[in-house]
Each structure stands twice: as structure tokens, then as C-alpha cells.
Amino acid sequence: MKNTDLTIKDTDNMLNIRVAGIIIKNNRVLMVKNLRSDYIYSLGGRLKFGESAAQGVVREVEEETGVRLEIDRLGFVHENFFTGSTPSKMNRQVYEITFYFYMKVPRDFNIETDTATADGDGETLVWLDWHSDEKYYPQFFKAELDNPSQEIKHIVTDDRQF
């Protein structure tokens, strides 16, 4: 059970527990693009059974960048309700909880790599300037990066389609 994703699903519903790393350097943020989506999103993935959110984000960031980064602080917790549109979530009502961590970034950190999603879509890591016109997902993400807080924020979004 150690390597099992922390996902619970039945025919109509799905619960995901996720972690995401916020990596900022020189007024740019490291984000992910894939071939299927018209938006960009943060590095991260599903938590594994038996690991803490902190352990999970360190693992996920290392898997996606090849570099083991330390956590700076927990930035926000996002409760997200939506109707799935990817092959693994298609038409399911999804409740997803994501812990977003700001990561400590060493001076020599400069990464570019391709990975793949659980659904097989190719992913590319991209550095974006603060004022990029890219569409961010979740939508609040850019606003939070523009006005970071030292406090942990709790954000709830509901985009379900019934």
C-alpha cells in the first residue's frame, strides 16, 4: 500500500489528496504545460498512502525536476469541487484537496524537462514571468502569487456541473 495514490473513487465520485510545489526564482514561477490543456498549473501530484503532505511535495518536486528541494512554508490549502474531464476522472464529481507549499530555491536551480501525466499527456516545465498572460489553473493561483501572504490561506472553489 506504500506506493498507492491517495485517491478514493467509485462509479460517480472521486476524492484526491494532492500536493503542489510553488517554485519562484528571479520573479518567475515554474509551472507545467501539457498538450491537452489550454492552461498551466503547478508542479505536484497525488499524495501516497502513509506519507505526510510535506514528504509528498518533496517527492513530487523531485520526481518532476530531478532536484530535491526543501520546503519554505505551507502557502495555502485548496478544496476544489469539479466535474472531471480527463480520462481518469471523466464525468465524475471530484473533491480534491491540495496542499500548496512554497519551496526553497537554490541559486543554481534552473530546470527544463519533459514528463508525463497519469493520463499519458506529455508535460513540459516552463518558467513564467509574473505578468504572463497564460491561463492559470486553478484560477486563484496567479492572484495568490501576485500577493503572497505569510499566513496559510484556505481556498474553496466549486466548478461542478450537474
Residue 17 lies in a domain: yes
Residue spans of alpha helices (H) in 18-153: 53-65, 140-146
Residue 140 lies in a domain: no
Structural domain including 70 reads 7-26+42-122+149-156
Please spell the DSSP secondary structure of 72-93, one letter per residue: EEEEEEEEEEEE--STTTTT-E
pLDDT tens digits, 62-112: 999 999 999 999 999 999 999 987 767 778 899 999 999 999 999 999 886
Residue 138 lies in a domain: no
For residue 47, the 8-state DSSP code is P
Residue 1 lies in a domain: no
What gap in Å lies between CA 52 and CA 152, rounded to an integer? 17
Residue 87 lies in a domain: yes
Number of helices (H), then strands (E), in the chain: 2, 10
pLDDT at res. 81: 95
pLDDT at res. 121: 64
115 has pLDDT over 80: no
Per the CB < 8 A criterion, the answer to whether 56 and 103 are in contact is no
C-alpha separations of 33 from 50, 99, 131, 159 in Å: 29, 20, 17, 21
- Number of domains the chain is built from: 1
Query: What's the chain's average pLDDT?
Result: 88
pTM: 0.89
Residue 127 lies in a domain: no
Per the CB < 8 A criterion, the answer to whether 57 and 18 are in contact is no
Residue 53 lies in a domain: yes
The alpha carbons of the chain give a radius of gyration, in whole angstroms, of 15
DSSP strand pairing (93-103 vs 13-22)? parallel
In CATH, what number is assigned to the domain containing residue 99? Answer: 3.90.79.10
Residue 11 lies in a domain: yes
